[in-house]
Chain A
Amino acid sequence: MTALRYVYAVCRPLTAPLQAELRGVAGAPARQLEHHGLIAVVSQVPDSDFSEEALRTRLEDMDWLTATARAHQNVIDALTGVTTPLPLRMATVFRDDSAVRVMMEKREDAFRHALDRLDGRVEWGVKIFMENADGEGGGDGGEGTGARTGSAAPKAMSGRDYLRQRRMRTTAREEQWRQVEEFARRLHKSLSAQAEDSRLHAPQNPQLSGAAGRNVLNAAYLVPRARSEEFVTLVDRTKDDTPGIRVELTGPWAAYSFTGLAEESAGEPT
Chain B
Amino acid sequence: MTVVERREIALVDLLDRLLAGGVVITGDVTLRIADVDLVRIDLNALISSVNENVPSPWPEAE
Q: Tell me the minimal C-beta distance from A4 to chain B in angstroms.
A: 7
Of A137-145, A164-172, A255-263, which binds chain B?
A255-263
B interface footprint on A143-176 (CB within 8 Å = 1, 0 otherwise): 0000000000000000000000000000000000
* Complex interface: chain A residues within 8 A of B16 (CB): 125, 201-202, 204, 218, 257
Cβ–Cβ contact A102 & B37, under 8 A: yes
8 Å CB interface, A242-270 against B: 249-250, 252-253, 256-259, 261-263, 266-267, 269
Q: Tell me the minimal C-beta distance from B31 to chain A in angstroms.
A: 5
A93 at the interface (CB under 8 A from B): yes
Instruction: From the candidates A91, A94, A114, A208, name the one contacting B43 in the complex (CB within 8 A).
Output: A91
A38 at the interface (CB under 8 A from B): no
**Size of chain B's interface in residues, with CB distance under 8 A?**
41
8 Å CB interface, A43-86 against B: 50-52, 55-56, 59-60, 65-66, 69-70, 72-73, 86
8 Å CB interface, A200-237 against B: 200-206, 208-209, 214, 216-218, 220, 228-229, 232, 236
A-side interface residues toward B, CB under 8 Å?
Answer: 4, 7, 10, 50-52, 55-56, 59-60, 65-66, 69-70, 72-73, 86-95, 99, 102-103, 106-107, 114, 123, 125, 184-185, 188, 198, 200-206, 208-209, 214, 216-218, 220, 228-229, 232, 236, 249-250, 252-253, 256-259, 261-263, 266-267, 269
